[in-house]
């Protein structure tokens, strides 16, 4: 860190480091003591979203040194996350998909709110549907008990952690993918790219970084963070309009092909690293 003239330093800033307990204390010390030095020493600072940076804990540094920052979007493997044909015989209900870690560190992903929304949808929709939850973590039993207490456990399926090949199957099987994050701990949402690559409409929270991944009403719908009734409304819009869902899914696939391939990411990174 103290040999700026000898070494070139590129820093990638993904998201604000936050945690609880002892780990939270370590993160606070890092943010106060080490992070400022890293940013000062760096010739270039890359990020997945300038929108997120402008609302993050380094926002003031960005205002003073905006020229240092470069936006490098995340990418997705289009060969792996590809469109599969699902026959009508394989489906007899609509499916909502949620993918995230089920631990305390990922509580901000908003599964608790989604379960509350499913409870409301159960009483308002007049056709069969279910929620598939992919992920593992210490809060899994808490979420399962919550689903039971809400009397929706018969339509909520927890399938644990799966490999990417199986994950692609779930993306293709679902009718809509949801990322109802409740705080700015969500910086981007790579799972949105994976779902769109499989031509699925997406619903995500209107948060810095996340809201830049796709265009509202084109590839999916944005919701107000933490607003359960808004989430219910947006789910109803997509689940009750097959034509709209298909249009959004196709638009999502095209967006990923045009903007989020790993080949494009590598080209952008190469330009940065080769500029020294």
Any bridge partners for residue 220, and if so which? 202, 216
Q: pLDDT at residue 90 above 70?
A: no
pLDDT tier at 64, thresholds 50, 70, 90: very high
pLDDT tier at 22, thresholds 50, 70, 90: confident
Q: Can you tell me the distance from the alpha carbon of 129 to that of 144, in angstroms, rounded to the nearest whole number?
A: 18
Q: Show the domains of the chain with their CATH numbers.
A: 10-72 (no CATH), 88-259 (3.40.50.2000)
Structure tokens at 94: 């609509």
| pTM, to two decimals | 0.93
Given this model, what pLDDT does residue 31 score?
77
What mean pLDDT comes out for the span 48-71? 96
What mean pLDDT comes out for the span 161-186? 97
Beta strands in the chain (DSSP E): 10-12, 44-47, 69-71, 94-99, 129-134, 156-158, 176-179, 202-205, 220-223
Given this model, what pLDDT does residue 62 score?
97
pLDDT tier at 2, thresholds 50, 70, 90: low
Given this model, what pLDDT does residue 255 score?
99
Q: pLDDT at residue 276 above 80?
A: no
DSSP state of 216: B
Given this model, what pLDDT does residue 8 score?
84
What mean pLDDT comes out for the span 146-153? 99
Could you give the 3-state DSSP secondary structure of residue 25? helix
182-208 residue pLDDT tens = 999 999 999 999 999 999 999 999 999
């Amino acid at each position: 860190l103290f040999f700026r003239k000898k070494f070139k330093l590129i820093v990638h800033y993904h998201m604000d480091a936050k945690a609880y307990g002892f780990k939270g204390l370590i993160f606070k010390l890092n943010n106060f003591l080490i992070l400022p030095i890293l940013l000062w020493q760096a010739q270039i600072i890359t990020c997945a979203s300038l929108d997120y940076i402008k609302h993050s804990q380094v926002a003031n540094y960005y205002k003073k040194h905006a020229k240092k920052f470069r936006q490098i979007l995340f990418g997705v493997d289009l060969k792996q996350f590809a469109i599969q044909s699902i026959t009508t015989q394989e489906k007899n209900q609509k499916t909502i998909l949620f993918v995230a870690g089920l631990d305390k560190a990922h509580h901000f992903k908003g599964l608790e709110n989604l379960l509350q929304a499913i409870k409301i949808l159960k009483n308002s929709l007049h056709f069969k549907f279910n929620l598939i939850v992919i992920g593992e973590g210490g809060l899994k039993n808490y979420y399962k008990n919550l689903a039971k207490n809400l009397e929706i456990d018969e339509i909520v399926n927890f399938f644990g952690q799966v490999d990417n090949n199986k994950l692609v199957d779930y993306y293709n099987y679902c009718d809509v993918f949801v990322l109802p994050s409740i705080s700015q701990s969500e910086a981007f949402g790579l799972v949105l790219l994976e779902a769109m690559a499989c031509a699925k409409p997406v619903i995500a929270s209107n948060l810095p970084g996340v809201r830049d991944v796709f265009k509202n009403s084109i590839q999916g719908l944005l919701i107000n963070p933490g607003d359960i009734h808004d989430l219910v409304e947006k789910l109803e819009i997509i689940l009750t309009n097959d034509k709209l869902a298909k249009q959004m899914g196709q638009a999502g696939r095209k967006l990923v092909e045009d903007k989020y391939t790993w080949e494009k990411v590598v080209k952008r990174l190469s330009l940065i690293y080769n500029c020294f």
